[in-house]
Amino acid sequence: AQTVTQSQPEMSVQEAETVTLSCTYDTSESNYYLFWYKQPPSRQMILVIRQEAYKQQNATENRFSVNFQKAAKSFSLKISDSQLGDTAMYFCAFMNTNFGNEKLTFGTGTRLTIIP
């Protein structure tokens, strides 16, 4: 079974600064997807960014980028020029690509607070 570990329960950073959230995972699979989801106080789960394991290039979405280290099974999220609206819980998630087993396994989350 896959496991996802987020070792930072809470983080805070000043507005406009850069912050990195860490995530490690454990799997014996060679092909899979990794995701970062954001959950603001509204509790809506919002996809931030995704990474296919077979791609060596790190995914980027505007101010959000990842550092994917497959050998180390590490998948950190970097938020640049942080904004007040980035305040939320952030969940790292793993998904197997095997047909019929495409469920998401989530980490325990990191509560990020952006300080004005």
Partner 1 sequence: SAVISQKPSRDICQRGTSLTIQCQVDSQVTMMFWYRQQPGQSLTLIATANQGSEATYESGFVIDKFPISRPNLTFSTLTVSNMSPEDSSIYLCSARQTHSTDTQYFGPGTRLTVL
> Is residue 64 at the binding interface for partner 1, with CB under 8 A as the rule?
no
- Check residue 7 and give left, alpha or beta (phi > 0: left; psi -120 to 50: alpha): alpha
Distance of CA 83 to the CA centre of its chain: 17
x/- mask, partner 1, residues 5-44, rule CB under 8 A, reads ----------------------------x-x-x----xxx
Residue 78 to residue 89: CA distance in whole angstroms? 14
Question: Least Å distance between CB 33 and partner 1?
Answer: 5
Distance, in Å, from the CA atom of 15 to the CA atom of 55, rounded to the nearest integer, reads 32
Stretch in the footprint of partner 1 (CB under 8 A) among 17-25, 47-55, 62-70, 71-79: 47-55
Q: Can you give the binding site for partner 1, defined by CB under 8 A?
A: 33, 35, 37, 42-47, 50, 52, 91, 95, 97, 102-109
